[in-house]
Structure 1
Amino acid sequence: MMKLRCETDPELFCRVFFPRHCRYPFSPLHRHLFRQYCRQQHQPLHEREGRNYAVAAPRGYAKSTIATLLLPIHDVVYRGEGYIVIVSATLPQSVGKLKNIRAELAENRMLRECFEPQISRITSRQIVVNDIAIEAFSVGTELRGITYRHWRPTKIVIDDGEDSDAVESPEQREKLTMWFNEVLENIGNGYTNVIVVGTVLHSDSLLANILKRPDFQSRTFRAVETFAENTTLWEQWRARFNDLSDPCRAETARSFFELNRDTMLKGARVLWPEKEDYYDLMCQLTTRGRKAFFKEKQNDPRHHEAQLFDPETFRYFTLEQSSEQIAGEQIVQPGSSRQVSLDRLVRFGFLDSALGGAGSDFAAVATVGRDEHGYLYVLDVWMERASPTRQIEKIFDLHALWNYRLFGFEANCFQSLLAQPIEQERQRRRKAGRPWDLPIEQVSHRENKLRRIASLETLIANGWLLFSPTLGEEFFQQCEQFPRAAHDDGLDALEAAVSLARTGAIGRPLPASTRRSSRHLTSY
């Protein structure tokens, strides 16, 4: 009886046979997938009229578990399909999904006892169960003419078919769209169901455009369906949550929330409260940044595509001369009487080098200080279309001013050629009795530059990265126009300097002998 009921009730099938995958109650997203699935049943396969549907889901909400694991297993044990094709951005992704299906069919004791699935073929990219083939492919693959026995693909599932880096390239987006339109949509037949599930990574991504197509039945789900009404209390909570001077800030913020829970949750509604409640999601919004949150959890990458950084919202500090200040330069945090001596900041620098010459990129050196709590201060950003020789001279001049704990430069391509000239300049200055002991580290960037720079947004939004207003119009213009600015050299250098400051050696405060002035820094 249970076996018969599960044939027409995929939700019950998942609960009965896969309890370890279904620990939480199903969300509206999952029930939507079940309803769409049921609409394709009740017809002989060769008489079926194929359907297209697309679902945009938040990251981490079990869309793949339902769409490319549990429902394909339902297909094979009840013999509802002839040839299933699973497509992901990379072959390892789709092969991994196939392995999960194979593992359940081989190891799920209850499933095997009830259905006795007959596995007749296993390869790294294909399994055949009950004379139904399931095969894994990556996007961009040549799929023309693929068949299993007399079937062309009867069900095609594209699950997370877009690469996070490639989707940022207009050329790669166009290439993927052409492949989908010209290749994938033509490999099926009149009975073929095409299901596209994923997260919208760009406003012009393949999934974003499929969601608009009239021949696809589409729906978009968001982790936060409506935000809480009382923004004032949430801003006060965020200030406590982001206070790096409080070692128990997470507990402090939670206590504030519990004290004001009813008011702070008024109007809030989330998609899957059993998995992630509103408080969990607000913590993610704060720690991961608005850009990542709205893209990965809200399927809204447009939220920051036009402008990621707004200098008007930055937190700033100013340098004030004080003849009475003998303890060194000070930084005063806004809204706080706590003062931090500039001499107690550990300073880091980074050179984003360039070839020099009119019309070329700027060479840029960013200087960042870190206090004992982890707040970061952008002390200086030097940018100039300078020759490599001038760049090397400048970094030693800046070291004489700031006394860097660690200084980095990019080891990729041409920049690696600077290592020897830097060492020569170090020896020349040592002989001349000038500051020479610049601690150098070559850095090899492995992540996409735009993504690295975008990671600063979280630090800025949380008030953990403060700026001097004297950094220059060119730098702030690059901030304002990113990611569409003609140049982003200052931001590139800043991100690298920030990375050094967050991961580099943090030793003792600088000795008093290195202090050069009695100035006062006030932030606002």
Structure 2
Amino acid sequence: MASKAELREAVERWQKHCETVQQATQVNTAETAREKIARIRRVRSDYAAFVDYYFPHYTVNPETGKQTPCAPFHIKAANKVLKERNLKAAFKWHRGAAKSTHLDIFIPLWLKCQETRQLNVMVLVGKSEDNANTLLADIQAELQFNQRYIHDFGQQYNNGSWEEGEFVTKDGTAFFARGRGQSPRGLRYRSHRPDYIVIDDLDDDELCESPARVTRLTNWVKEALFGALDGGRGRFIMVGNLISKNSVLANFCAIDGVHVSQVNIWDKDGNVSWAAKWTPEEVKAIERFQGYRSFQKEYMNNPITEGAVFRQGWIKWATRPKWKEFEELILYIDPAWKSSVKNDYKAAKLWGKRKTQLWQLRAFVRQATIPEMVRWCYDLFEWAQETGIAIKFYMEANFMQEEILKDFKTEGDLRSYQLPILGDKRKKPDKFLRIESSAANWERGFVYYDESQKQDPDMLAGLEQTLAFQKGMRGHDDAPDADEGAISLLQKHSRISSFTPSFGRRNNAKNVSW
């Protein structure tokens, strides 16, 4: 529970926010009655227009004055909620997708202003009572101080306060706040029971560490909270990003009959989902800063259990032996099937064998085009010749088709020689089993990383993928796949025996320095 001082500060922040709302929503007093009627008709049917007109304090950048319009997934979600009065849905959207803003504020107010009554009692559920009250404060601010909304749909606020966790509007629409686990039993206003319940970001890292707590809270959502509806009638919505597979959101999404909307910051085609808000360069900068695992968790709804196969404790950085001491050097290339930057990572990993030691020496691990990776391979070959070392270049035989080899030939024609690439013709078993089996080399201490590459972004990106690798993962596994290919070939005549690994953890960042 918030202290008196914390509550006082929260009230002061809310009052400043209310001033912002009021100032940003000034009404054009010169408009005609016909213009007003036409606008009301339009905003009731056009969610994007509704958001743009009534909420400039959310959508307009105060520094640039530029408005950020709704993303297609916002509009699709709003239309889904409007269309289905009885809806059980999870909106599993990435960080920064404005899920709370739309599902907690904009969409309920859009429902409220429809010609046919769509909203009677709304319940907003947060991580705690204080959190829920704070979320409720935002919608009260709009109903009490948004001049445009009031001008078009009449005076709204009647009595009550978000500080107490409830308020009512003049037309008898009630709004309540509840914290997770707090009893929702008996919630009603006059003859109406809740018909719009939104559960906002219920999960956190601490909760997800306890399966027992997650189970109890899931049961509370399905039983006490869902039971607050009138016999299941109404809109029952959960919003959040998937931070753990052991989470209330994950359990909720798995319930039969629940509509699931999943939005990742990169869509399935490699485009930014909310292109009006972020450029691809900005998203890539976020990914570089956060690292592979954190980015997958926060922005791709793909929580990865660090250490499922490889452990952080198995990663050994050491001073590389002299190049002439390596018995064999292999660069294994995994170009991925598509040339576009938008798809899988391209991986090329240089490994060396010295006695029983396996050395990870250089890496290319990027979301890049095939020509970019090809140029890197040619540069490596020329560096190796200047250094006086021999590297064998391998690529999976399935990839050695005309389309991909054409990129190598094009670069070769420019340099007046062709890169000597060999095909890996092994009959490969399941990818997970192959990579899992190779983890034994890390566990037994055979694998070393060249410490001169400790800050190399490609090396670190590959290491991130290795430590994140697990069965059924939806993230990228191109780097560990290339590692397995190189190690398998290096060990063809090695005495390192097979070994059954135990299981268990992973790092990130980009440039080429031999």
Match of 1:107 in 2: 145
TM-score, normalization by structure 2? 0.51
Shift of 1:310: 5.2
Structure 2 residue 68 is the aligned partner of structure 1 residue 24: yes
Shift of 1:4: 2.3
Judge conservation of contact 1:53–1:217 (CA < 8 Å) in 2: yes
CA-to-aligned-CA distance 1:161-210 (integer Å, 9 cap, x gap): 11221112111111111111221111111432101111112113221122
Match of 1:193 in 2: 235
Match of 1:149 in 2: 190
Match of 1:184 in 2: 225
List aligned pairs for 1:126-165, cutoff 5 A: 126-129=166-169, 130-165=171-206
3-state SS of the aligned residue for 2:301? coil
CA distance in 2, matches of 1:35, 1:305: 41
Distance 1:157 1:308, change over 3 A: farther
CA-to-aligned-CA distance 1:476-521 (integer Å, 9 cap, x gap): xxx98557xxxxxxx9xxx9xxxxxxxxxxxxxxxxxxxxxxxxxx
Judge conservation of contact 2:82–2:111 (CA < 8 Å) in 1: no
Structure 2 residue 305 is the aligned partner of structure 1 residue 278: no
* Paired letter, 2:105: L
* Paired letter, 1:279: E
Of the three residues 65, 85, 94, the one matched with 2:132 is 94
3-state SS of the aligned residue for 1:301? coil
* Paired letter, 1:135: F
CA distance in 2, matches of 1:146, 1:102: 19
* Paired letter, 1:127: F
3-state SS of the aligned residue for 2:319? strand
Shift of 1:52: 1.1
Shift of 1:334: 7.2
List aligned pairs for 1:298-309, cutoff 5 A: 298-302=300-304, 304=306, 306-307=308-309, 309=311
Judge conservation of contact 1:29–1:57 (CA < 8 Å) in 2: no
Match of 2:249 in 1: 207
Match of 1:506 in 2: none
Judge conservation of contact 2:94–2:301 (CA < 8 Å) in 1: yes
CA-to-aligned-CA distance 1:252-287 (integer Å, 9 cap, x gap): xxxxxxxxxxxxxxx632211222232222222221
CA distance in 2, matches of 1:109, 1:198: 30
CA distance in 2, matches of 1:276, 1:285: 13
CA distance in 2, matches of 1:126, 1:103: 13
Structure 1: any 5+ residue segments left out of the alignment?
41-48, 227-266, 321-332, 336-370, 377-452, 455-478, 484-490, 496-522
The size of the alignment, in residue pairs, is 296
TM-score, normalization by structure 1? 0.51
Match of 2:90 in 1: 54
Judge conservation of contact 1:309–1:480 (CA < 8 Å) in 2: no
Match of 1:121 in 2: 159
CA distance in 1, matches of 2:130, 2:293: 27
* Paired letter, 2:73: L
Judge conservation of contact 2:218–2:251 (CA < 8 Å) in 1: no
Distance 1:77 1:35, change over 3 A: closer
Judge conservation of contact 1:268–1:278 (CA < 8 Å) in 2: no
Shift of 1:76: 3.4
Match of 1:15 in 2: 52
CA-to-aligned-CA distance 1:8-54 (integer Å, 9 cap, x gap): 333221111112323323223212211212203xxxxxxxx622111
Structure 1 ranges of 4+ moved more than 3 A: 75-79, 302-305, 307-312, 479-483
Distance 1:273 1:4, change over 3 A: closer
Structure 2: any 5+ residue segments left out of the alignment?
1-37, 60-66, 322-359, 363-450, 457-466, 469-500, 508-512
CA distance in 2, matches of 1:88, 1:150: 25
Distance 1:277 1:481, change over 3 A: farther
Distance 1:189 1:308, change over 3 A: farther
Distance 1:318 1:167, change over 3 A: same
Shift of 1:144: 1.5
Distance 1:110 1:273, change over 3 A: same
Judge conservation of contact 2:214–2:247 (CA < 8 Å) in 1: yes
List aligned pairs for 1:327-338, cutoff 5 A: none
